[in-house]
């Protein structure tokens, strides 16, 4: 919309009109959003189709359920994707831009919030939402994903208790919710079963190697990023330098914990590494959150 804020600039010097124009010209603005540039746009398009199908004038729950299936499939794919950090650096390692981050929780909310709200009186839609969340739960890789899925499931169940009058229908909804909880509890066993089923195709070794390579690359990147933070801390004023060094020390401790967890995965056999995978992911999530917090304070 014309007049909307594109960016907020923090500078020690006055931002003149020439610099403001350069920043504005860095944005490419078209007539409409595109799925390639904005993943939530594609999500919103499917949600809009589902909401129209649920409207009283159309009343087509089959189409809404088809949209839920598509959204569930997309979110299953996203469980394996690494979401980018919101921080952008220049060639010298200085923080230049902080963008609005895209998170797994945000995509889950965009996909299910409105359908849950408008479809709470439909038993078929409510049940399919929980079934889709169960499918996603079976592929969840970390605590952030599990919490986002469980949050949606809890809201769906609460809404169904208030909106669905038939007891047997409410019982069916509750059963789907229990199935989802069991999917979380059986996730480790499901991973082990998947290993057995794909062993002849070379899948497990490749999956294990890809997992190790991905985390090892992240550790290497954190090493470089922490070195940049340390260089910046050296240039800080005396009152801020001690605080920066303390944060850097905390980051190195958390990075070492993450490395230790990765080493456990590397040393584990084919039958055991899946059981250690979640511990490594949680350690890396802890380090990621700590790093994001530190970056914000180093601005």
Please state the φ and ψ torsions of residue 58, each to the nearest 5 degrees: -110, -50
Cα 95 from chain centroid (whole Å):
23
The neighbour count for residue 290, using CB atoms within 10 Å, is: 16
Give bridge partners of residue 88 from the DSSP assignment. 97
For position 197, what pLDDT does the model report?
A: 32
Q: What angle do CA 225, 275, 85 make, to 5 degrees?
A: 25
> Is residue 158 a contact partner of residue 151, using CB atoms and an 8 Å limit?
no
For the chain, the domains span 38-185, 197-297
Given a contact cutoff of 8 angstroms between Cβ atoms, the answer to whether 124 and 61 are in contact is: yes
Please count the residues of the chain. 299
Q: Which residues have a Cβ under 8 Å from the Cβ of 225 and sit 6 or more positions away?
A: 291
pTM score above 0.85: no
**pLDDT cut 70: percent of the chain above it:** 89
Residues of the chain with pLDDT under 70: 1, 36, 186-207, 269-271, 297-299
CB burial string 247-277: b at 16+ within 10 A, e below? bbeebeebbeebbebbebbeeeeeeebbebb
Q: How far apart are CA 51 and CA 248, in angstroms?
A: 48
Whole-number pLDDT of residue 242: 79
CA distances from 138 to 31, 68, 82, 175 (A): 39, 17, 18, 17
- Dihedral, 288, 292, 293, 295 alpha carbons, nearest 10: 130
Give the pLDDT confidence of 93-112 residue by residue, as tens digits. Answer: 778 788 888 889 999 999 99
Q: What is the pLDDT of residue 207?
A: 63
**118: CB partners within 8 A, 6+ apart:** 51, 54
Q: What is the per-residue pLDDT for 151?
A: 92
pLDDT at 128: 95
Q: What's the CA gap between 23 and 201, in Å, rounded?
A: 51
pLDDT at 133: 95
Tell which phi-psi region holds residue 90, choosing left (phi > 0), alpha (psi between -120 and 50) or beta.
beta
């Amino acid at each position: 919309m014309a007049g909307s804020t594109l960016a907020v600039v923090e500078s020690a010097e006055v931002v003149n009109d020439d610099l403001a124009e350069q920043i504005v010209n860095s944005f490419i603005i078209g007539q409409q959003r595109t799925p390639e540039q904005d993943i939530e746009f594609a999500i919103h398009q499917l949600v809009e189709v589902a909401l129209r199908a649920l409207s009283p004038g159309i009343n087509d729950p089959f189409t809404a359920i088809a949209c839920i299936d598509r959204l569930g499939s997309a979110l299953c794919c996203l469980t394996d994707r690494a979401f980018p950090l919101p921080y952008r650096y220049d060639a010298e390692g200085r923080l230049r831009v902080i963008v609005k981050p895209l998170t797994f929780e945000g995509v889950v909310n965009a996909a299910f919030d409105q359908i849950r709200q408008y479809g709470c009186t439909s038993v078929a839609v409510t049940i399919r939402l929980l079934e889709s969340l169960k499918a996603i739960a079976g592929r969840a890789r970390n605590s952030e994903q599990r919490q986002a899925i469980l949050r949606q499931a809890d809201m769906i169940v609460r809404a169904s208790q208030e909106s669905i009058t038939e007891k047997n229908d409410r019982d069916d909804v509750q059963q789907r919710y229990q199935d989802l909880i069991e999917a979380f509890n059986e996730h480790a066993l499901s991973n082990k079963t998947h290993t057995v089923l794909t062993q002849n195709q070379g899948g497990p070794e490749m999956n294990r190697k890809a997992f190790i390579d991905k985390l090892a690359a992240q550790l290497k990147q954190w090493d470089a990023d922490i070195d940049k933070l340390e260089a910046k801390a050296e240039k800080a004023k005396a009152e801020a330098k001690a605080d920066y060094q303390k944060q850097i020390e905390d980051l190195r401790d958390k990075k070492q914990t993450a490395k230790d967890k990765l080493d456990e995965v590397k040393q584990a056999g084919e039958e055991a590494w899946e059981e250690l995978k979640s511990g490594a992911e949680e350690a890396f999530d802890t380090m990621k959150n700590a790093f994001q917090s530190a970056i914000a304070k180093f601005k």
